Structure 1
Amino acid sequence: MRCFIGLDLSVSNKLALEQWRNKALPDLPSRTPAPAKGSRHKVSSAAPPAAVAPANFHLTLAFLGQLDMRQHEEVMARLDEVRQPPISLTLDTTGVWQGPKILFCAPHNVPDELYELVRQVTKAARQSGIAIERREYRPHVTMLRKASAALPPPLYPPQIACNFDKFHLFESVSSPHGVSYPIRHSWPLIPNLSVRERLRRGLA
Structure 2
Amino acid sequence: MPESKRLFFAIELPADIQTQVIHWRAQHFPPEAGRPVAAANLHLTLAFLGEISAEKQRALEGLAGRIRQPGFTLHLDDAGQWLRSRVIWLGSRQPPRGLLQLADMLRAQASRSGCYQSPQPFHPHITLLRDASRAVPIPPPGFRWSFPVSEFALYESQFIQGRTRYTPLNRWTLTTE
TM over 0.5, yes or no?
Answer: yes
> What does the per-residue CA deviation read over 1:36-90, in whole Å, with 9 as the maximum and x for residues that have no partner?
xxxxxxxxxxxx6111111110000000000012211111111111111112121
Letter in 1 for 2:23: Q
* TM-score w.r.t. length of structure 2: 0.91
1:5 aligns with 2:15: no
* Distance of 2:169 and 2:147 partners within structure 1: 22
**Residue in 2 that maps onto 1:17:** 21
Q: Corresponding residue for 2:111?
A: 126
Q: Deviations over 1:121-162 (max 9, x none)?
A: 112212322222222111001111111222233366531112
SS in 2 for 1:168: strand
Sequence identity of aligned pairs in percent?
28
For the Cα contact (< 8 Å) 1:172–1:180, is it kept in 2?
yes
Structure 1 stretches of 5 or more lacking a match? 30-47, 193-204
2:31 aligned counterpart, secondary structure: coil
Corresponding position: 1:28 with 2:28: no
Bigger Cα Rg: 1
Letter in 1 for 2:25: R
Contact (CA 8 Å) 2:6, 2:158: kept in 1 or not?
yes
The answer for the alignment partner of 1:86 in structure 2 is 71
**Alpha carbons 1:5, 1:169 under 8 Å: kept:** yes
Aligned twin of 2:136:
151
**AA at the equivalent of 1:53:** A
TM-score, with length taken from structure 1: 0.80
What is the number of residues matched between the two proteins?
173
Q: Structure 2: which 5+ runs fail to align? A: none
Within-5 A mapping of 1:63-102: 63-102=48-87
Cα distance in 1 between the residues matched to 2:156 and 2:142: 30
Any conservation in 1 of the 2:78–2:141 contact (CA below 8 Å)?
no
For residues 109 and 172 of structure 2, the distance between their equivalents in structure 1, rounded to whole angstroms, comes to: 14
1: CA distance, partners of 2:140 / 2:103: 32
Equivalent position amino acid for 1:28 in 2: P
User: Whose strand fraction is larger, Structure 1's or Structure 2's?
Assistant: 2
Residue 176 of structure 1 deviates from its aligned partner by: 1.5
| Contact 2:47/2:117 (8 A) holds in 1 | yes
Assess, with a 3 A threshold, how the Cα gap between structure 1 residues 167 and 79 changes in structure 2: closer, same or farther: same
The correspondence for 1:61, drawn from 28, 34, 46, is: 46
**RMSD of aligned residue pairs (Cα, Å):** 1.5
Query: Tell me, what secondary structure is at the counterpart of 1:137?
Result: coil
Instruction: Give the letter for the 2:95 counterpart.
Output: V
- Asked whether the equivalents of residues 72 and 99 of structure 2 are also in contact (C-alpha less than 8 Å), the reply is yes
Q: State the Cα deviation string for residues 101-134 of structure 1 (Å, max 9, x = none).
A: 0101111111111111111111221232222222
Look up the match of 1:195: none
